[in-house]
Amino acid sequence: MLEPEYMEEEPKPAADAGPETGKTETKAPEKPREKSGEKEGAAVKSRYRTLLVRYGLIGLVGQFRHSERDIPPGVTHVIINTERGMEIGEIISPFCHKRGNVFCTDEDLDHYYQVSGPNYPFTRTGRIIRFANEQDLNEQRHLRKNALAEQRYCEELIQKHNLKMTLVAVEHLFGGDRIIYYFMAEGRVDFRNLVKELAQEYQTRIEMRQVGARDEARLIADFEICGRQCCCKNFLKVLQPVNMKMAKLQKTTLDPNKISGRCGRLKCCLRYENEVYEELQKHLPRVGSTVLVEKGPGVVVETQVLTQLVKIRMNDNRIMAVANEEILERNYKVPEGLLKPEESRAAPRRQEEKAPPVPPEKEPPAAEGQAGPGEGRKKKRRRKRKKKKSGEAPGNEADREQNSPGEPENGQV
């Protein structure tokens, strides 16, 4: 017997019933429809499993689907099909996978890569062809050795064509679909003839990719002074800009030799804690502003970001350090009659500047018949001028008398 809620509507003929059959059937209450995206996602999850794989010379990361039920023990590499062609990749953290599927959900992965930035090179378009065996690993080692010979041959051609470019590294894909040459150059380079000769030599697709100084370190760098592998080669995929302001905020040494990485630019690790430093800096008063503490007003001289300490110069020119929480009022207005510390120190200087200049002392007038101190000097200058005009060299009068011939006496010649 049908329940009352279904008895209200009259039965209608089924739409699928043909003209000869007069059967009728009642419709059951419709269940809430699932969203198409959720249904498709559930179907994909039920049909495919996914693994996180790192591949390529730069270390690109992608989530690839496969139909295997479990990962065989001891397998660390897989053969994948990407946009570039067939490649060999390394499974990222095999212990994060269970029965051939990654633990992380798609929402967690999306959140991670959104935080990493919109330019993070993450792909989901590829698929896993099979798990790599020992023969595949030997083939990969053989291709790496051949890449060194291919790099030497390309360098010879660069010298032959007099191209202003520096070859950094060569990557030969596992399937042999293409060879990628990474180079550095100051401007644009016409390497069409170079590509033709390389393609004729190796009979495969040639790709030339220009990189910068930081990408060069990502390709060939090994370890930094911290003892760890370079961040750009290990896990960084998007190299964000780093400026000197970050180093000043963290109060690190400003010696370029100590804060520069293998690429010659500022180290990427200066950016790791910059967000925390900026957040802590917002809680501190501005240097040069006046604040009020328990012992009176003072001017902020220096701040410590991590310890949240503030150095203040008091009215008596004492320097004291207080915690940021002990500041009673910021941007304090000093009442009239009470000079600010910087004003009290600058007041004597202002008075000295305003003092009238002392006039130079005048020489006392010379007495009658006596030459003043300045007249004797004037006479000496006049004598020298007369001697120069007459052609005589200025010298001692006694010397001139000895060197000059004597005058004839009594008219004798």
pLDDT digits (tens, 9 = 90+) for 283-341: 999 999 999 999 889 999 999 999 999 999 998 889 999 999 999 998 888 776 554 55
What is the per-residue pLDDT for 156? 94
Give, in order, the Cα–Cα distances in Å from 183 to each of 163, 166, 172, 257: 11, 5, 15, 25
What is the average pLDDT across 110-130?
76
Is the separation of the CB atoms in 233 and 218 below 8 Å?
yes
Q: Please, which pLDDT band fits residue 215 given cuts at 50, 70 and 90?
A: confident
5 phi, psi to nearest 5 deg: -65, -20
What mean pLDDT, rounded, does the chain reach? Answer: 76
Q: State the DSSP H helix or E strand holding residue 348, giving kind and residue range, or none if neither.
A: helix 341-354
What is the per-residue pLDDT for 40? 41
What is the per-residue pLDDT for 100? 56
Q: Is the pLDDT of residue 193 over 90?
A: yes
What is the per-residue pLDDT for 168? 94
Q: Please, which pLDDT band fits residue 398 given cuts at 50, 70 and 90?
A: very low
Q: Is the pLDDT of residue 150 over 50?
A: yes
What is the per-residue pLDDT for 67? 79
Which of 20-29, 113-122, 255-264, 354-363 has the highest mean predicted lDDT (pLDDT)? Answer: 255-264
What is the average pLDDT across 78-85?
91
Alpha carbons 275 and 68: distance in angstroms, whole number: 42
Q: Is the pLDDT of residue 376 over 60?
A: yes
What is the per-residue pLDDT for 170? 95
What is the per-residue pLDDT for 223? 85
What is the average pLDDT across 15-22?
42
- 335 or 348, which is more confident? 335
What is the per-residue pLDDT for 107? 77
β-bridge mates for residue 130, sequence order: 79
What is the per-residue pLDDT for 370? 53
- From 172, 197, 192, select the one nearest 182 (Cα to Cα): 172
Q: Is the pLDDT of residue 277 over 70?
A: yes
Least confident of 124-138, 225-239, 257-271: 225-239
What is the per-residue pLDDT for 162? 93
Give, in order, the Cα–Cα distances in Å from 40 to each of 44, 45, 148, 294, 300: 6, 9, 46, 66, 61
